[in-house]
Structure 1
């Protein structure tokens, strides 16, 4: 679409919005239609709402019973595997006796989203009160689904956070107009994720409600992490949810223009049929969640008993129009920055998008200038693994600063990790079977239903981003607009949010976990990407646990992600044989320019560990023997760039101005 066409589309959206808004009377009428249609039937009259015994909910009961105001007791469970994360959610929902509060950034209408919705509605019919709060830009994609949910049951409430243009869903022209009229509000998103059951046990972390977060996408999945926490900290979670639920920006879905108009025009629709793309996989997940012995032995028994747990969250006041009042609502970023700066020995930081705000850069520079600076190890995405091409381009620009000025040891996640906590079989892209001796057979890949992907005899579906992840296909299963953290850039018109093509086929994985370990004693799991967007625009949350055993478990998980089988290490490239000092100076000057950073030589590149008798373990990139055990593999290993080479250079040269919203 040309710039002129975009302007016309924006003007058209403005005209349509001006004449299409509902009046207050119409909104009230739509709300009445939804309210009158809601079922009041409750299938269970037992005090516990006929809840199924839940080993994970029992952790909450036990923690509260063992706690005193002076000595709180908590249980914490890291959820690394996507399948474990989904089973845990189903177990808690089925075990709920009074309330379920669910807050999320993305809630998609795919298998994972539909499965959780089915479970929530089943809980509603048992007599459990369910409240679902979803950010507008990544809410359920169909207006008729939203209208049906608004009319489903008296025990079910659905609200949409920060509905720009007073709609649940916005089209491309509407987005263009919103970007022109209300850029700051458009970018102010509710990025927190929380599932809280009966006010006693909650799950938070990086995962949304979409196939990609549970290893259910045949092309691309996130290696993510959640933490389940039971005990008194759940009261802080409940208070945070209440603040968002009652915030002025949280609007009952039936009072929004598009949903309200649907109710006025069509009446309250029945819940649509939701055929699963892979019903056998859904059924297997449901059976696993119903196996109390499996859940107890595989999950509940692995929970760690810890003492004090702190849940921190930006309140919705961060999104107030008054800039000074909004600044007072920023809580997560200062607390996390202070925690990082308190480190004495080591900071272990994991973020999918290594773009630091100016305050964070100043903080790391101060830390590196100490007489004895802490070691800072960073786990992040490679260009081959990331789902945000433009964000990687900015992190690529500042590699010299990260390594030389901040002392970062950067490990970039591979798109085909060999030993990560992922479930390749669950993706549905390959056939896997086991032999009697325990060895594995990997069969031919199955192409996604909506993509014609190339096949490789030894791999999986082609990872070019041509299928569901890039909006391909016309069967109604295309990925919804604005479904990533950097949604405000999704309509740039040059595919900056698409994944780059790779040199070989396979089911690709990208890092999405946001975690932190300080000095081997404090562990943090949350939603903050430690980036400018989290500092200034998104509301974020995190769990902080001051416990050596938990910190050790979290550190082991992150170190697994940065192991040579799963990541490349970034280090300075070999110096040129002549004029190395001049080359370095020119590159440094060019890097500091907000535009026209056109110097072609970068300071750093990617290295692969080469084990051997003299190299039993990988070395730090600052070790003098580093190059004896590592060989360079290029700036963008595994990537088949082509035109992307040019785009990378463009955004390296001109993209610094976008850093505040990345």
Structure 2
């Protein structure tokens, strides 16, 4: 399940454009037959969007949002300050004994089972409040379990505030309406689409008259329990992000936080929660209007989820499960200074063509410009653009080592985005930038990560950078224009050599055993070779693995119609 809906949609829209031209050629014949019957014969992805788009054009016209919600129906609320008495606050205090009060505590969550366990453990132990913000909460087994834990917390008297970006909310609208119907729980949606029904592609296709607005999404991932402990990182709430048996197995990273930085997260959350870009679900989802029915539907949907997923006794970094440490009253944390980088909700209405100094990704790039020896970057979607190339060129001119890791074509869930990145590979190699592309085939040969299914496709999803071997960037930000211009993002710059080493070693294992190393080819100027170290020796490909001529032709043609800033 891709989180980059607009590149995916743009791919479909290019196909739709070609299908529409073909449809126009057949229009005289089609008019002699029932239109819906012919549309059903089209390929499902195109037929669904084309059929709904035609229905909209020929029928009701453009969709529109309801009237703005009165402030009385969207009451202002803030983080609860009286949390010192809670169990989680006590654990945070004990865990910080001996550390400076100015420092925050951090612990990485590298494995999917540990990351899910941490969220469940915090939800079950919260006593006062849960403030949660996600780009995507799916209606699959993980999403349903997650929402049931929130409902159980609300039933104990915990105030639950859940903020979800609206793009994928249509897929889980029954669950969101059901949670909102629980006492002590409130659900709001960010930047809603005018079209309220249908699949994501259909909703966006019928909302294209407001494309400039709906192209801007809330990409944040944030979980705060009792104002004392917080989780941020790259994971959305869906099976694929926690290695729960989906078609994809995302390689991701979260960080558990305690100390002063959590107050900054609460400020960010409150700013979004009370913004004009947020709507309560009862104003957008008809399913939320009848609370009794919504509660019954919710109870039915989350009834048979089975036991809580098992958790390994130790993760790949040697950490024990968060639940076990919480029960013992102390978390293993690294204490360090940290800088919060966060976009505001009004970014979706800002003119991002101007100076982007206030944007979260700009703060990340500034930290990279300050590097003195090396920069290691892992990003699933990496499109440097001319500005990024200039940044790398200056770094290499200063003698810095620059290492970039992203998905190979066979690993990415967004081939068109990968095609945008591929335009820059030869130039980056000429500069001396080290490029590595994660390969699902090589990862399977080397052995899957803990909890990763051998049948799923391993994909890099972590958004990380290590600067000079001591500063760690982690959060929701990809290294592309979408994170800079279109999405709101959230991240941390942590000055911790210990965390930097843990991330570097984790990425090094994936680079050594599961990735192609790219190098300039000798056959012709600008050519590239893909190199892997396998048990039998070095294996070299002169053509991109997984890219046959049909794939290259299709992506090349589609890329002609899509501006790079939309990828």
Same fold at TM > 0.5? yes
Is 1:392 aligned to residue 418 of structure 2? yes
What residue in structure 1 maps to residue 92 of structure 2? 60
Which of 435, 454, 464 is the equivalent residue of 1:410?
Answer: 435
Q: Map of 1:238-253 to 2, 5 A cutoff?
A: 238-253=266-281
What residue in structure 2 maps to residue 3 of structure 1? 20
Cα deviation, residue 553, structure 1: 1.5
Is 1:635 aligned to residue 540 of structure 2? no
The Cα RMSD (Å) is 3.6
Cα deviation, residue 301, structure 1: 7.1
Mark the CA change 1:575 to 1:268 in structure 2 (over 3 Å): closer, same or farther: closer
Partner SS state of residue 106, structure 1: coil
Which of 533, 538, 542 is the equivalent residue of 1:609?
Answer: 533
What residue in structure 1 maps to residue 31 of structure 2? none
Cα deviation, residue 541, structure 1: 1.2
Check the 8 A contact 1:63/1:231 in 2, yes or no.
Answer: no
Check the 8 A contact 2:113/2:312 in 1, yes or no.
Answer: no
Q: Map of 1:249-260 to 2, 5 A cutoff?
A: 249-256=277-284, 259-260=285-286
Partner SS state of residue 532, structure 2: strand
Is 1:332 aligned to residue 365 of structure 2? no
What residue in structure 1 maps to residue 484 of structure 2? 535
Count of residues in Structure 1 that have an aligned counterpart in Structure 2? 508
d(CA) in 2 for partners of 1:367, 1:171: 40
Cα deviation, residue 294, structure 1: 6.7
What residue in structure 1 maps to residue 553 of structure 2? 646
Check the 8 A contact 1:212/1:220 in 2, yes or no.
Answer: yes
What residue in structure 1 maps to residue 234 of structure 2? 206
Partner SS state of residue 106, structure 2: strand
Which of 519, 522, 525 is the equivalent residue of 2:468?
Answer: 519
Check the 8 A contact 2:518/2:531 in 1, yes or no.
Answer: yes
Deviations 1:384-406 (A, max 9, x none): 1111111111222221112113x
d(CA) in 2 for partners of 1:124, 1:575: 64
Check the 8 A contact 2:233/2:254 in 1, yes or no.
Answer: yes
Check the 8 A contact 1:311/1:542 in 2, yes or no.
Answer: yes
Deviations 1:102-121 (A, max 9, x none): 11111001111111111111
What residue in structure 1 maps to residue 395 of structure 2? 367
Partner SS state of residue 143, structure 1: helix
d(CA) in 2 for partners of 1:645, 1:306: 48
Which of 51, 56, 60 is the equivalent residue of 1:13?
Answer: 56
Q: Map of 1:313-352 to 2, 5 A cutoff?
A: 313-321=342-350, 330-352=358-380
Q: Map of 1:192-203 to 2, 5 A cutoff?
A: 192-203=220-231
Q: Map of 1:518-597 to 2, 5 A cutoff?
A: 518-563=467-512, 565-576=513-524, 584=525
d(CA) in 2 for partners of 1:508, 1:19: 37
Deviations 1:543-582 (A, max 9, x none): 111121221122112212211x111101111234xxxxxx
d(CA) in 2 for partners of 1:261, 1:277: 22
Cα deviation, residue 207, structure 1: 0.3
What residue in structure 2 maps to residue 661 of structure 1? 566
Check the 8 A contact 1:76/1:229 in 2, yes or no.
Answer: yes
Deviations 1:411-435 (A, max 9, x none): 11121415577234x64xxxxxxxx
Q: Map of 1:103-502 to 2, 5 A cutoff?
A: 103-139=133-169, 141-153=171-183, 155-165=184-194, 167=196, 172-179=201-208, 181-256=209-284, 259-260=285-286, 263=289, 268=294, 270-272=296-298, 273-274=300-301, 279=306, 282=308, 284=310, 295-296=324-325, 303-321=332-350, 330-368=358-396, 370=397, 372-405=398-431, 407-416=432-441, 417=443, 422-424=449-451, 427=453
Mark the CA change 1:550 to 1:346 in structure 2 (over 3 Å): closer, same or farther: same
Deviations 1:584-641 (A, max 9, x none): 3xxxxxxxxxxxxxxxxx52121112579xxxxxxxxxxxxxxxx744124332x274
State the TM-score, normalized to the length of structure 2: 0.80
Cα deviation, residue 318, structure 1: 1.2
What residue in structure 1 maps to residue 40 of structure 2? none
d(CA) in 2 for partners of 1:338, 1:397: 24
Deviations 1:183-221 (A, max 9, x none): 221210000100011111111010000000011124321
Partner SS state of residue 303, structure 1: coil
d(CA) in 1 for partners of 2:554, 2:226: 49
Q: Which runs of 5+ in 1 are unaligned?
A: 36-46, 428-459, 461-505, 577-583, 585-601, 613-628
Check the 8 A contact 1:413/1:568 in 2, yes or no.
Answer: yes
d(CA) in 1 for partners of 2:176, 2:256: 29
Check the 8 A contact 2:436/2:518 in 1, yes or no.
Answer: yes
Check the 8 A contact 2:231/2:254 in 1, yes or no.
Answer: yes
Cα deviation, residue 135, structure 1: 0.5
Mark the CA change 1:162 to 1:115 in structure 2 (over 3 Å): closer, same or farther: same
Check the 8 A contact 2:282/2:288 in 1, yes or no.
Answer: no
Check the 8 A contact 1:315/1:330 in 2, yes or no.
Answer: no
d(CA) in 2 for partners of 1:23, 1:235: 34
d(CA) in 2 for partners of 1:297, 1:129: 21
Cα deviation, residue 295, structure 1: 2.4
Q: Which runs of 5+ in 2 are unaligned?
A: 1-15, 24-48, 76-81, 315-319
Partner SS state of residue 393, structure 1: helix
Which of 455, 458, 463 is the equivalent residue of 1:509?
Answer: 458
